[in-house]
Amino acid sequence: MDRIWKKLAAACLGMVLFLGTAACGSQPAAENKEKEAGPYAGLPKVVLVGGDSSGKGSVGQRFGELVAQKVGKKTGGQLTIDYHPNAELGGDEDLLRQLRANDIQLVVGQMAPVTAFVPEGAVFDLPMVFAPYDGKTIDRVLNGDGSFRQKLAAAYDRAGLHYMGTLQNGTYRLMTSNRPVKRVEDFQGLKIRTMSNRNHMAFWSALGANPTPLAWPELYFSLQSGIVDAEENAADSILSANFNEVQKYVAETNVILYANEMVLNKKAWENLPKAYQKALEDAVREAREELAPTLIQVDRDCKEKLQKKGMTLVAYSPEFYQAVRNQPAVQELYKKIDAQTGGLGTVMREELEK
């Protein structure tokens, strides 16, 4: 009997020692896990829903998806973005309405549609305003810490939005058409699709064209059926949409900078813990820096592919661009846009010239 009790006592002692050792060992393990989680330890998991209305494989889609990938990796999956490209959640206006209502929290897109809610965003409507500058100079103004960026961010804030930054590298939207446009006079009577933006429409009207706002999903059929004769888009969007099947010419009109901005719902941004805000800011900056150098080559490659598919590239001289800018109605539009933006257009031009 004594022998049995001794065995039981030894077994119990062994169990106590094992449990004690396990407990002591688990404490450093837990501490290591928390250390690895860094600033995100103990924070709730957050999912932001976002998207774009760009064409498949476009710069806008690449930008949004890369930010989503980076922020998920940075936070160990604590902050993730459920990203929907290619107008899965709707066109430009639908996305922005959902964004302002906080039904979705993030949108990547070009600037023009935002002016319906942020009047100051019309600075990007100034025709050919960025043309004399390289991508690095433009980036300093749009993503730096100067007066223009601060005033623009404040304008978005007043509209219930949070401006995260802009991806660009000095490339532009191109015009496609079914007839050659080689002189300013050739714009006369051209039925051109535009985004729903009064300044874009005013510019084309100033050249004698007939602007028609259409949603992106409607555009291919409208070109095919002759509802419109022409449209303006970035080279990658033109290629991915197969507009070469329904258009003959692609022209380097360079009216509007090809840029994609990332915007969040203001309340969604403010509700994010500071650590998540920092992770998202870093992800956006890193994505911009990674993608920007590729944009010039993408633009060049897409133009070459469009030509191989049968389109004729129309290039212009500096005199052509100057002739466009010198049109009295275009000069008047410059003044109107500056008034719309409370002088922000002047601030931007001054910073570009520094």
Q: What is the CATH number of the domain that holds 268?
A: 3.40.190.170
Please state, in angstroms and as integers, the Cα–Cα distance from residue 312 to each residue in 199, 230, 247, 307, 308, following that order: 28, 14, 10, 6, 9
State how far the Cα of 125 lies from the Cα of 150, in Å rounded to an integer.
19
Residue appearing with tokens 């802009």:
166
Is 225 a member of any domain?
A: yes
Verify that 116 and 240 share a domain, yes or no: no
pTM of the model: 0.78
| Residue of 121, 214, 102 lying closest to 166 (CA atoms) | 121
Is 58 a member of any domain?
A: yes
Which range marks the domain in which residue 73 is found?
42-169+259-297
Verify that 101 and 125 share a domain, yes or no: yes
State how far the Cα of 13 lies from the Cα of 174, in Å rounded to an integer.
81
Verify that 55 and 181 share a domain, yes or no: no
Q: Judge contact between 246 and 220, C-beta under 8 A.
A: yes
Is 5 a member of any domain?
A: no
Q: Give residue 177's pLDDT.
A: 98
Is 37 a member of any domain?
A: no
Verify that 233 and 316 share a domain, yes or no: yes
Is 32 a member of any domain?
A: no
State how far the Cα of 88 lies from the Cα of 142, in Å rounded to an integer.
28
Verify that 163 and 194 share a domain, yes or no: no
State how far the Cα of 51 lies from the Cα of 113, in Å rounded to an integer.
15
Verify that 267 and 209 share a domain, yes or no: no
Verify that 216 and 272 share a domain, yes or no: no
Q: Could you report the per-residue pLDDT of 86-115, keeping only the tens digit for each?
A: 999 999 999 999 999 999 999 999 988 898
Is 3 a member of any domain?
A: no
- Structural domains of the chain, count: 2
Q: Could you report the per-residue pLDDT of 56-91, keeping only the tens digit for each?
A: 888 999 999 999 999 999 999 999 999 999 999 999
Q: Give residue 11's pLDDT.
A: 41
**Extended strands (E) in the chain:** 46-51, 79-84, 106-109, 161-167, 174-177, 191-194, 210-213, 230-233, 249-251, 260-265, 312-314
AA identity, residue 47 = V
Which segments in the chain show pLDDT lower than 70? 1-37
